[in-house]
């Protein structure tokens, strides 16, 4: 019976908590010749104008591996998220199961700012980028992610055998808040007019074979 | 204010109307992916952007861009799919689908690809007489299916550019150099333009065209539509 080994080496956690933001940084490296599991999730949101949200998650389960490793860096500072992930997996072909991996990140922002005494600009944007795979082998999986103030980028370079899916969803809208009277409008507009909307989705995937996949995703709200 | 004269490039008929270029540039959303392998390939990308403008209540405009891309390849051998999309100014996309079925037969595998891009603009109150309005709609598309094909497409739409326009290019050939594609391809465009006022419709113009090839072929086509700005 094969031993199940789970090693999570070098975990550094620095947390500087203030009333408005936190600074978090950690990294780890794990190697195994059996089963390995990684599960982490991050979510943050501000509650003042602008309302900014960040999301990130990584889930990994490796079974019956002849060799598997996961090297991961994660940091948050001033609401800016940076991630780097490297995963390798070589399965035992005489047994079932393999590697399941899913990495997902998201950004959102809602902003309202004065343009004149009786008019404000209103904008909102949200996006999600994700990659998931169920493979017999993963010779390369290297990703870099960045999230800040409603913008995000995700870069991936992977090669393996099995199934994979990569997804992007982004939506944004802009509008004007108007006040029929005098004085500032922010927070007290009595009429909103839609100026523009935008929605984009992308899915690409491979099934039942060898694949080599590289991609770069970028989302920047229109008013930044 | 800019005054716009609509002219259809590539057609024998030119239609004049008065509209205006306004609206903001949309978000910068972009992606590009490159996928090679010996497996089933599936991709589906969609975009929809809309810019709405109201000026002095008597003037309004709606500009909309729609785009969809679907690619499917089963049992592929040494195949690849590249697709990029950028929305910095309107919409710009490029794709390359290089597909070969195992054994070069439908039993081994088959590819299918469709692409659609459309532009719709509605203007009212921007002509010399404020009670005039115009409507223009352009759609370009391509459909491909086969067992051995290298196809490349490029699409571009600008709704805040000068001139406003839509361009679509498609090229299809065999997977290896000098070889022809095996399958079927069709690509076409449809346009509809109407002008009127509160006294009724006073002009309309429509145009449809499609080219098709099947069997073994090499296919190349360019579609362009432009709304040209002139100084009043």
What is the mean predicted confidence (pLDDT) over A7-26? 48
- In a domain, residue A9? The reply is no
Q: For chain B, count helices (H), then strands (E).
A: 0, 11
Q: Report the pLDDT value the prediction gives residue B107, as an integer from 0 to 100.
A: 63
- In a domain, residue A57? The reply is yes
Q: Please provide the average confidence, as pLDDT, over all residues in chain B.
A: 79
Task: Write out the residue range of the structural domain in which residue B164 sits.
Answer: 3-230
- In a domain, residue A73? The reply is yes
Q: Which residue has the higher pLDDT, B155 or A122?
A: B155
Task: Write out the residue range of the structural domain in which residue A138 sits.
Answer: 14-219
**Residue appearing with tokens 């004085």:** A183
- Check B27 against A222: CB less than 8 A apart: yes
Interface of A with B in 107-166 (CB under 8 A): 125, 127, 166
What is the mean predicted confidence (pLDDT) over A114-132? 88
Q: Has residue B228 got a pLDDT over 70? A: no
* Residue A86 CA neighbour count, 13 Å, CB half: 8
Rg of chain A over Cα atoms, rounded to whole angstroms, equals: 21
- In a domain, residue A1? The reply is no
Rg of chain B over Cα atoms, rounded to whole angstroms, equals: 20
Interface check A209 vs B, CB under 8 A: yes
- How far is B72 from B145, CA to CA, in rounded Å? 9
- In a domain, residue A8? The reply is no
Q: Report the pLDDT value the prediction gives residue B44, as an integer from 0 to 100.
A: 97
Q: Give which of A160, A206, A223 to mutate to test B binding, by max B Cβ within 10 Å.
A: A206
Q: How far away is chain A from the Cα of B11, in angstroms, using its nearest Cα?
A: 31
- How far is B189 from B119, CA to CA, in rounded Å? 11
- Say how many domains are in chain A: 1
- ipTM score for this prediction: 0.82
- In a domain, residue A4? The reply is no
**Residue appearing with tokens 């539509």:** B225
- How far is B229 from B231, CA to CA, in rounded Å? 7
- Convert the pLDDT of each residue in A24-63 to its tens digit: 888 888 888 888 999 999 999 998 889 999 999 999 999 9
Residue among A166, A196, A222 whose CB faces B50 most closely: A196
What is the mean predicted confidence (pLDDT) over B115-140? 83
- Say how many domains are in chain B: 1
What is the mean predicted confidence (pLDDT) over A179-200? 71
DSSP letters of A32-100? ESS-EEEEEEEEEE--SSSEEEEEEEEEEEE-SEEEEEEEEEEEEETTEEEEEEEEEEEE-TTSS--EE
In DSSP terms, which residues pair with A133 in a beta bridge?
A: A101, A164
Burial A53-91 (b: 16+ CB within 10 A, else e): bbbbebebbbbbbeebbbbbbbebeebebbbebebbbbb
């Amino acid at each position: 019976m094969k031993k199940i080994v789970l090693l999570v080496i070098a975990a550094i956690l620095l947390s500087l908590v203030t009333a408005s933001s936190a600074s978090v940084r950690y990294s780890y490296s794990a190697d195994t010749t059996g089963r390995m599991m990684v599960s982490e999730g991050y979510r943050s949101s501000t509650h003042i104008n602008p309302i900014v949200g960040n999301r990130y998650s990584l889930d990994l389960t490796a079974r019956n591996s002849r060799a598997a490793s996961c090297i991961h860096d994660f940091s948050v500072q001033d609401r800016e998220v940076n991630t780097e992930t490297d995963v390798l997996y070589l399965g035992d072909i005489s047994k079932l199961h393999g590697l399941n991996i899913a990495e997902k990140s998201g950004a959102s922002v809602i902003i309202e700012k004065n343009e004149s005494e009786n008019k404000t600009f209103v904008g909102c944007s949200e996006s999600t980028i994700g990659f998931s795979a169920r493979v017999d082998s993963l010779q390369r999986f290297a990703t870099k992610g960045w999230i800040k103030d409603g913008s995000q980028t995700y870069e991936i370079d992977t090669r393996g055998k099995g199934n994979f899916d990569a997804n992007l969803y982004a939506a944004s809208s802009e509008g004007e808040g108007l006040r029929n009277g005098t004085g500032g409008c922010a927070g007290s507009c009595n009429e909103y007019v839609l100026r523009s909307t935008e929605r984009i989705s992308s899915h690409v995937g491979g099934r039942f074979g060898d694949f080599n996949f590289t991609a770069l995703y970028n989302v920047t709200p229109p008013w930044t | 204010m800019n005054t716009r004269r609509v002219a259809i490039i590539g057609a024998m008929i030119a239609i004049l109307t008065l509209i205006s270029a306004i609206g903001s540039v949309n978000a910068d959303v972009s992606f590009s992916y490159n996928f090679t392998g010996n497996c089933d390939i599936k991709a589906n990308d969609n975009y929809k952007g809309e810019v709405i403008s109201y000026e002095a209540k008597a003037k309004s405009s709606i500009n909309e861009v729609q785009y969809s891309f679907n690619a499917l390849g089963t049992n592929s051998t040494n195949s690849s799919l590249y697709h990029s999309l950028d929305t910095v100014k309107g919409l710009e996309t490029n794709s390359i689908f290089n597909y070969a079925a195992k054994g070069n037969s439908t039993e081994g595998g088959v590819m299918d690809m469709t692409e659609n891009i459309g532009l719709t603009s509605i203007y009212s109150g921007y002509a010399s007489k404020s009670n005039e309005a115009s409507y223009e709609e352009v759609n370009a598309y391509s459909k491909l299916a086969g067992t051995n094909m290298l196809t490349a497409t490029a699409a571009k739409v600008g709704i805040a550019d000068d001139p406003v326009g839509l361009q679509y290019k498609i090229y299809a050939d065999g997977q290896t150099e000098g070889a022809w594609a095996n399958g079927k391809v069709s690509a076409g465009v449809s346009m509809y333009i109407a002008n009127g006022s509160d006294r009724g419709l006073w002009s309309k113009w429509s145009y449809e065209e499609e080219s098709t090839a099947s069997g073994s072929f090499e296919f190349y086509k360019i579609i362009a539509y432009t709304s040209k700005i002139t100084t009043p």
